[in-house]
Amino acid sequence: MVKRIVANIAVTDPAAARTFYETILGLDMLMDHGWIVTYGSDTRMPLQVSFATEGGSGTPVPDLSIEVADVALVLEQMQAAGFTAVYGPVTEPWGVYRFYVRDPFGKLVNILQHV
């Protein structure tokens, strides 16, 4: 029985994740050993692993999808920190409002909110 799934992303500078994942997205730093930094939350969330041929609406499959309470606010904070949306924001036919952004490591992140 699965208890947890962890996404591991290979990077050269784990500290570069701080602004994107902690400051803007509000995740807590759970562990920092220098060579690995883990951000997360103690909040219980549904467990999902998706396998896709595209990201929907003809977009590339994102490396991560992160659901937030307020997409417009997160987009504003991302732009203020120098991150640029590479897709959207858009309301998709399947009921999500979202945008894609590249994190500091070039990973494509789908930031979404159910509408």
Cβ-contact 98, 53 below 8 angstroms:
no
Q: How many other C-beta atoms lie within 10 A of the C-beta of residue 87?
A: 17
What would the mean pLDDT of 7-18 be, rounded to a whole number? 96
Q: Give yes or no for residue 45 having a pLDDT over 90.
A: no
Strands 37-40 and 108-114, bridge-based pairing: unpaired
**What predicted TM-score, i.e. pTM, was given to this entire model?**
0.95
% pLDDT > 70, the chain: 100
User: What pLDDT does 32 receive?
Assistant: 97
Partner residues linked to 80 by β-bridges? none
In this predicted model, what pLDDT tens digit does every residue of 47-92 receive, in sequence order? Answer: 899 999 999 999 999 999 999 999 999 999 999 999 999 999 999 9
Does domain 14-42+52-114 correspond to CATH entry 3.10.180.10?
Answer: yes
pLDDT of residue 46: 87
Mean pLDDT value of segment 39-45: 92
